[in-house]
Amino acid sequence: MPDLYTFGEAMALFLTSDTDNVLDARLFTRTTAGAEGNVAVAVTRLGMQAHFYTHLGSDQLGTTVIQDFLAEGVDVSAIKRVPEFTGTMVRNPGTSRPVENTYLRKGAAASTMSPADIDLGVLGNSRWVHTTGITCAISSSACDAVRFALESSRALGVQKSLDLNIRLKLWSATDARQALEPLARDLDLLIGGEDEFSAVFGESDPLKAISLAESRGCKTVLMTNGAGPIRYSIEGQYGEITPPQINAVDPVGSGDAFTGGVIAGILGGLSTLQAITQGSISGARVASQFGDWAGLPTGQNGRIDSTIVAEMTGAAQ
C-alpha cells in the first residue's frame, strides 16, 4: 500500500553549471524536476513509499527521468510512454540573478494525461493523494484528472492535498482562478504562496484568504511567503512559524520539499504543527543546495534524521 499517490509532469531539467545566466552558459547539468515528482522523492527520502504516475515520451530523456526516480526508490511502475516528447526545462540556479525558466512542454507527453489514467485501485489503497495546480495548467484533460482524483479521494476516504502552484508562464491568472477555485475545497491540506491565495480567492488580505479556505472545508491551510513566516491554520487555529534562515543558493524546488516534509510528517505520526515545522526544515535545506532533489533530507518513518534537524535549526540561530 503506497503512503503517497501523486501524478503530474516530470521533466528533464538542464541547469546551468558555469554561470548564472542561460544566455552565456556553455555547461549544463541534467537532472529531473516537476512538482509532484519532487514531493514523491521528498516523501521517499523520509522512509515512506510513494507511487508517482506520469506520461513520458518514448525518447532518451524519458528513459533518464525514469532512471532518476528508480534510483530514489519511487514506484514508477505505472508510468506510460507515449509518442509525444518528454517535457524539458532549462534554467539558471538563481544565485546572483532571478531564476529564468525556459519551458519546452506545450504538447509534451504529460499533457495527454486524463481521468482515465487515474488508477483507482492504487489511489484507493493509498494513505494520501497529492495534486497541484501545475498539472491543471498543462492541459484541460490533465486538469480533469486532478478534479477526478480529488473527487475520488473524497469518495474513498483518502487524505488529500492541493498545492495551488500557479505558473504564469503556463496560463493566465484568470484561467488559474477559474480552474483552481472550485478545487480548493474539502481538503486535508491546502498549500500556496500568498500571491497564489490572492489569485485564487480574490482576496489580498492573507488572513481573510486563509479564512475563506477554512470556510470551504480545508482542514489545514498553509500560506508561504518566500523566506518570510509561514502562516497556517489547523482546524481553525491560526499561527505562524519562521523557517530556518539559510543562505539560499537555489530556491526552486524548496516549496515541493516543504510539502513533502509536511505530508511525510503527518503520515509518520507527527502533530500537524510538528509536520509543518519539519516541512520548513526540508524546504530550507533544498534552497541551500543546487537542484530540486539535492538537499532533500533523509529520515525514517516520515521523520527527518535528528542530525539534519540539528544542522538546520542550528543554522537558524
CATH assignment at residue 129: 3.40.1190.20
Residue 31 grid coordinates? 537532472
- Alpha-carbon 145 to chain mean position: 17
Has residue 212 got a pLDDT over 50? yes
Q: Among the options 68, 117, 250, 256, which is catalytic?
A: 256
> 53 is written with which cell numbers?
504516475
Q: Please tell me the predicted confidence (pLDDT) of residue 161.
A: 98
Phi, psi of 133 (to 5 degrees): -70, -20
Residue 300 structural domain: 4-315
Query: Computed from CA positions of residues 176, 118, 45, 76, in that sequence, does the dihedral angle turn out positive or negative?
Result: negative
Question: Is residue 250 annotated as part of the catalytic site, yes or no?
Answer: no
Q: Is the whole-model pTM more than 0.85?
A: yes
Q: Give the residue carrying C-alpha cell 489580498.
A: 204
Which has the higher per-residue pLDDT, 279 or 314?
Answer: 279
Q: For residue 316, what pLDDT is reported?
A: 45
Number of domains in the chain: 1
Contact indicator for 41, 69 with CB cutoff of 8 Å: yes
Tell me the pLDDT tens digit for each residue of 276-297.
999 999 998 887 776 668 789 9
Determine the Cα–Cα distance for residues 154 and 170; give it in Å rounded to an integer. 28
pLDDT class for 215, splitting at 50, 70, 90? very high
